[in-house]
Amino acid sequence: MRLLGKKIVEKPWGKNVLPPQFDVPAGKRVGEVWFEPPPELPDILVKYIFTSEKLSVQVHPSDEQAKALGESDRGKEECWLVIDAEPGATLGIGFKEAVDSGTIRRAALDGTIEDLMQWFPVKPGDFFYIPAGTVHAIGAGVSLVEIQQNSDITYRLYDYGRPRELHLERGLQVAKGVAHRSNLRQSIETSESVQLTDGPFFSVAVVAGQAVDDGPLHLDRSTLVIPVGLDVTIDDCRVGQGQGALAGKGEELRIAKAAGACLLVQHVAPPVSSVVSAPPR
C-alpha cells in the first residue's frame, strides 16, 4: 500500500478551521484537500471539500461533449458524500421544474438561477451522484467527500457577483434544464455498509466501522482507501483520518470497529472509446 500525496487548496469560499487531522497552517482559508491520483487509478480524483460560503453554480460536460467542444481534457461526472453539515446547509442540484436554455441564460445573468434550482437540506450520510450536464452548486457550511472523473473542466454559470470568469456559452451547451433524478441520491445510516455507485467511471462503496467483522477484507483490485472518522490498516500499515491510500490487489484491509466509515473507490472498466484525446489547435 502507499499513502496518497495530498494537496491543500486555498479557496475564497473555504474554511479557516478544518478538523484537526488535516493539520492545515493557521490563517489559511482551505476549500479543498485533494488526494493525488496514483498511476494505478489516474482517472479518479478524490477530494474533501469544506465550505463557508456558496460555491459557484456550475456544470460539467460529458466525455463526448468535452471532445465535441474541443476541450483537451475529459468530461466530469462526480458524486458527493456529506460528512458534516451546519444547520440549514444545502446543496443545489438540478432545477425545481423543467426550464429551457433561454430561461437558464436569463437566470444566470440576473442571478435568479438560484431560485430556479432545487436546494436539498443535507446531513452526514447524504449521497448524491451528479451526472454530466447537471447544474449544481455546493452551499455554505458543508463538508463532503467528492469522487470525480479526474478532469479540469468546469463551466461556471453564475458566481454571486464574485470576480471569477464565467463560461456561460459553453455551460448552456451542456446544461440540462431538468430536476435531479431521485434514484441518484440516498441517505445512508452511519452503521450501514453500502455500494454508493457502480460505474461507469468509478465505483464507490462505504463500509461502516460499526458493521465490520473482526476479519480483514481482501481487496481484489487496486482500491483507493479513504477512512472517514476512524483508522484502518492495510497489510498492517496504518492509514489515519484525513489520509488516503492506494491498496493493491491481494492486500488486507482492516477497519477499526468504531463510529465512522471507510470509503473504497475502485475503477470500473472504462469506456475506452470515449477517453478524450487532445484535438489539434
Catalytic residues, which ones? 156
What is the chain's length? 281
End-to-end CA distance of the chain: 40
DSSP string, 188-199: --TT--EEEEE-
CA distances for 112 relative to 33, 101, 117, 162, angstroms: 31, 14, 9, 15
Alpha-carbon span 79 to 149, nearest angstrom: 10
Contact (Cβ atoms closer than 8 angstroms) between residue 209 and residue 190: no
Report H helices in the chain: 63-68, 101-110, 113-116, 168-174
DSSP 73-92: S----EEEEEEEE-TT-EEE
Cell of residue 173, nine digits: 451547451
Run of H or E including 138: strand 136-138
Distance CA 187, CA 193 (A): 12
Q: Residue 167, class by beta-carbon neighbours within 10 Å (0-12 exposed, 13-18 middle, 19+ buried)?
A: middle
